Amino acid sequence: MPLRGSGLFPGLAIAALIALIDQVTKRWAEQALTLFAPVEVTSFFNLSLVYNPGAAFSFLAGAGDWGRWLLTTIAVIIGLLITFWLARLPRNAWWSVVALGLVLGGAIGNLIDRLRLGAVVDFLDFHWAGYHWPAFNVADMAIVVGAVTLIVATFLEDDRTPSSTHRE
């Protein structure tokens, strides 16, 4: 499939937009919030600046420098795989294109933090009855929404491309 008709350019545009929004909100959080000093927004939501050197749920947070570079390498590999996947998708597979663009944008946003700071900036803190969900950011939301959307896409999109259909 030629790149012109692929999902590459729309997917990359979505990824760039997500990464930009993610970085803008993280820079705002770093300037407006104080580390480990939550600002109550509602009874169940705080803005709370934290730096997570690990992955989801602080996985590998205590691993030191090797953990940082392992997570960086994984993000780069996944980013390349998603880029190749987008290049092979037809542009009209828009559920998958949007989903992959969201995941890629989130991965890029967190990768930028990891390279810039050695940790990911998190600042959205939801809690209830004394229990806190781990703090997260826009990139994390994009990754989760993208992953769920990709699952939905498997049910909504037809596997056949226009070139593989036939008439009887």
Catalytic residues: 122, 140
Question: How far apart are alpha carbons 137 and 120 in whole angstroms?
Answer: 9
Torsion of CA 69, 70, 76, 82, to 10 degrees: -160
Structural contact between residues 123 and 48, judged by C-beta atoms closer than 8 angstroms: yes
CB atoms within 10 A of CB 77: 10
The length of the chain in residues reads 168
The amino acid that residue 160 corresponds to is R
